[in-house]
Amino acid sequence: MNVKTFNVFLRHNDWADGELLRAAASTTDAQLDQSFDMGRGSLRKTMLHIHAGEHVWLRRWMGQTETPWPNEEEKVSIAALADRFTAARSERASFLKGLGDGDLDRPIAYRDSFGGLFEATLGDMIVQMILHSTHHRAQAVNMLRRLGTKPPELDYMMWVRKPK
């Protein structure tokens, strides 16, 4: 992989996050907090977890000291969550701007949420963030479907294909 390819996947993730947020905007607070036996237990918590994961992994990429995992119990509105995703995208873009392909092999030591010390390459950490978000967005789409809301189609080809 290279930085250009990662940026394509990250732009897809950003689009998919936006589609998910748009679909969730039509739900009520009761629907956002309805209990599900998947994801983080509710649509709101799962969406907060997607953002939290992206936030935490960016901090790790930057070599910053692990902060406590963001609060996934918060009753944040979809609009406020969308603002958080926008801010995270901006911060991530600034970090990636000066990155070259050679930087992807750089090892970074980090602590996980339980305090364990690990090391991984920056490239592997970026892959983790991309896949983690994709996994939880699939759960959120399933929750939207169960709530009777038309879920977005987040497949990569839905993003890249153009009508003729």
Domains belonging to the chain, first-starting first, are 3-160 (1.20.120.450)
pLDDT of 66 over the 90 cut = no
Give residue 163's pLDDT band: very low, low, confident or very high (50, 70, 90).
low
Q: How confident is the model over 7-40, as pLDDT tens digits?
A: 999 999 999 999 999 999 999 999 999 999 998 9
Q: CA-CA distance, 4 to 9, in Å (whole number)?
A: 9
pTM of the model: 0.92
Band (pLDDT 50/70/90 cuts) for residue 98 is confident
